[in-house]
C-alpha cells in the first residue's frame, strides 16, 4: 500500500531501517512465552521436552518440576504422544526516528521425545505510533482463512490497512527491555509496563487523551486498564470519577461502578453527588438503580403500547360494547366484562399475566370477563369464546388456578346464553 500522508511516509521510511530481533529477546521469549513440557508415560518415566533427556518422577497430576539435566522448569504431561507443538505471540518496543513501534513476533516451539526443543521465530506486524497518538501498521499479507494466524510468510512487511487481527495479536507478552519515545515517558509510561491492558491502545490513548495521562500519573493502574478499553464510559463518568477520587473513593469494580453512573443518569439523579457516586455497597446500589430503570422502561413501553392500542379503540367498542354491563354473580363471586383498554391494562398489572400485553382486547371471537369477590378483590380473569359458547381458559394471579376456579367456569358457562343473546341483538 502506498503512503497516503506524512505520517505514513515516515512509517514507511523507518520500517526499512529496523533490524532483526536480538538474540537476548528471542531467548527471553523461549523462556517465558511458550509452555515447557515433559512427556510422562504410565511407568513414571519422563522425557524433558527442552533437552530431550529422560528422568523419573513418581508424583501424580500435572505438576511443574525442574528437569535434573537442563535445570529448566517443565510441566509434567501424561501422554503417549511423541511430538508436541506450542506457539504464541510476543512483542518488543523500540523507538526510532521519533516514532514508537511495537514489533509483534510469532514464536513456535516443537518438542520431540528424545530430542532437544526446536524453535522458530517470525515477525508478523509492526504497530507504529507518532507523538500525537496516531496508529499505523506494517505487516505481512493476510491469506484467505478464518484463523488469526493466516499470514503469508513469503510476503514482505510493508504498509497495510489496520484490521482487528492486528489489534488482537498485539495484545501479548512484552519484552521487558524496551525503549520509549520521550512523549510517552513524559505522559507517565515509566518503569514496569502495565500487564493488564492492551499496551498499544494505552500508548495511543496516553498521547491523545489527557484524561488517560491523568489516570496514569495518579498511579491508578486498575482505572487505566478499564478506561483504555472503555473510552465511552470515560466520557460519561469522568466528572464523577474526579469527584470520587477527591473523596478517596476507589471502586472495587470499575465496570460495575460505570454501569451504576449510567443508571443514575437515566433516573435523573445528580452524578456529581457523593450521595450517589460513592456507595458503600456498590453491587446493592447497582441492583437498586437497575430495578428503578427497569420499572421506568416498563412504564414507558406500557404507555407506548396503550397509545398504539388507542388507534383501534373505536373497533374495540364497536365489537365489544354490546357485552358491557353484563354481570354474573352468586353469593360470593361477581363477574363483569372488561369495558375499556385501561381496564385490560389494569387487570394485567393486578393479576400479573398477559391479558393486555398479548392484546386480548383485539380478539374478535373472545370476550374477557373478570371475576372478583364482593369486596372487589380480583380472583381470576376469564376468556369466553363466542364461537364455542364456553370458557376456554380462566387464570388467577401469575396464571395460577384458585380455589374458585371450577366454580367460576361453571358460573360463566351456565350464563353463556346472555353473551350469545347480546351478540345476536347487537
Q: Provide the pLDDT for residue 426.
A: 67
Domain boundaries, the chain: 6-174, 230-311, 324-425
Q: 304-330: string of b/e by CB count within 10 Å (b at 16+)?
A: eeeeebeeeeeebeebbebbeebebee
pLDDT per residue as tens digits for the range 307-325? 877 877 888 888 888 888 8
CA gap 422, 426 in Å, rounded: 6
Q: Residue 206's pLDDT band (boundaries 50, 70, 90)?
A: very high
Q: What is the mean pLDDT of residues 340-353?
A: 88
Q: What is the distance between the alpha carbons of residues 19 and 42, in angstroms, rounded to a whole number?
A: 47
* Short-list 258, 266, 210, 216, CA closest to 237: 258
Q: How far apart are CA 327 and CA 307, in angstroms?
A: 29
Q: What's the pLDDT tens digit per position in 148-171? A: 888 898 999 999 999 889 999 999
Q: What percent of the chain has pLDDT over 90?
A: 55
Place of cell 394471579: 397
Cα Rg, the chain, nearest whole Å? 35
The CB-based long-range contact list for 297-305 (8 Å cut-off, 24+ gap) reads: 302/345, 302/356, 305/356, 305/357
Q: What share of the chain is helix, strand, coil (3-state, %, to 5)?
A: 40, 25, 35
pLDDT band for position 332 (cuts 50, 70, 90): confident
pLDDT above 80: residue 288:
yes
What residues pair up with 28 in beta bridges, in sequence order? Answer: none
Mean confidence (pLDDT) of the chain:
90
Calculate the alpha carbon distances from 102 to 122, 123, 172, 319 in Å: 14, 11, 11, 73
d(CA 383, CA 78) in angstroms, rounded, equals: 66
- For residue 285, is pLDDT > 90? yes
138 and 158 in contact (C-beta within 8 Å)? yes
**Quick one: three-class SS letters along 261-321?**
HHHHHHCCCCCCCHHHHCCCCHHHHHHHHHHHHHHHHHHHHHHHHHHHHHHHHHHHHHHHH
Q: With bands split at pLDDT 50, 70 and 90, how would you rate the model's confidence at 114?
A: confident
Q: Quick check: pTM over 0.75?
A: no
For residue 376, the model assigns a pLDDT of 83
- Lowest-pLDDT range of 56-70, 251-265, 404-418: 56-70
Question: Residue 294 pLDDT > 90, yes or no?
Answer: yes
Amino acid at each position: 500500500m502506498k503512503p497516503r500522508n506524512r505520517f505514513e511516509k515516515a512509517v514507511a521510511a523507518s520500517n526499512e531501517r529496523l533490524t532483526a530481533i536480538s538474540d537476548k529477546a528471542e531467548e527471553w521469549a523461549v523462556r517465558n512465552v511458550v509452555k515447557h513440557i515433559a512427556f510422562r508415560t504410565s511407568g513414571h518415566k519422563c522425557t524433558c521436552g527442552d533437552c530431550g533427556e529422560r528422568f523419573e518422577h513418581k508424583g501424580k497430576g500435572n505438576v511443574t518440576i525442574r528437569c535434573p539435566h537442563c535445570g529448566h522448569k517443565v510441566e509434567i504431561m501424561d501422554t503417549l504422544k511423541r511430538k508436541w507443538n506450542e506457539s504464541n505471540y510476543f512483542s518488543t518496543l523500540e523507538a526510532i526516528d521519533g516514532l514508537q513501534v511495537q514489533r509483534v513476533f510469532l514464536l513456535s516451539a516443537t518438542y520431540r521425545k528424545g530430542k532437544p526443543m526446536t524453535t522458530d521465530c517470525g515477525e508478523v506486524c509492526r504497530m507504529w505510533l507518532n507523538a500525537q497518538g496516531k496508529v499505523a501498521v506494517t505487516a505481512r499479507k493476510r491469506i484467505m482463512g478464518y484463523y488469526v494466524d493466516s499470514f503469508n510468510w513469503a510476503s514482505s512487511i510493508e504498509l497495510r490497512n489496520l484490521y482487528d487481527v492486528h489489534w488482537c495479536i498485539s495484545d501479548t507478552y512484552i519484552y521487558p527491555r524496551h525503549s520509549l519515545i520521550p512523549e510517552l515517558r513524559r505522559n507517565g509510561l515509566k518503569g514496569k509496563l502495565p500487564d493488564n491492558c492492551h499496551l498499544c491502545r494505552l500508548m495511543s490513548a496516553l498521547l491523545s487523551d489527557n484524561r488517560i495521562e491523568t489516570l496514569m500519573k495518579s498511579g491508578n493502574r486498575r482505572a487505566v486498564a478499564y478506561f483504555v478499553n472503555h473510552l465511552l464510559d470515560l466520557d460519561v463518568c469522568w466528572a464523577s470519577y474526579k469527584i470520587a477520587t477527591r473523596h478517596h473513593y476507589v471502586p472495587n469494580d470499575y465496570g460495575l461502578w460505570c454501569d451504576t453512573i449510567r443508571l443514575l443518569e437515566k433516573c435523573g439523579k445528580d452524578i456529581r453527588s457523593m450521595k450517589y457516586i460513592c456507595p458503600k455497597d456498590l453491587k446493592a446500589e447497582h441492583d437498586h438503580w437497575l430495578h428503578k430503570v427497569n420499572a421506568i422502561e416498563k412504564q414507558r413501553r406500557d404507555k407506548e403500547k396503550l397509545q398504539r392500542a388507542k388507534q383501534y379503540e373505536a373497533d374495540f367498542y364497536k365489537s365489544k360494547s354490546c357485552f358491557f354491563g353484563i354481570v354474573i354473580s352468586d353469593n360470593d363471586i361477581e363477574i363483569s366484562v372488561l369495558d375499556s383498554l385501561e381496564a385490560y391494562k389494569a387487570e394485567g398489572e393486578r393479576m400479573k399475566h398477559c391479558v393486555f400485553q398479548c392484546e386480548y382486547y383485539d380478539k374478535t371471537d373472545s370476550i374477557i370477563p373478570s371475576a372478583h369477590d364482593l369486596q372487589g378483590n380480583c380472583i381470576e380473569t376469564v376468556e369466553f369464546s363466542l364461537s364455542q359458547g364456553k370458557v376456554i381458559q380462566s387464570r388467577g394471579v401469575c396464571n395460577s388456578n384458585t380455589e374458585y376456579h371450577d366454580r367460576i367456569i361453571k358460573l360463566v358457562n351456565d350464563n353463556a346464553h346472555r353473551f350469545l343473546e347480546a351478540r345476536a341483538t347487537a
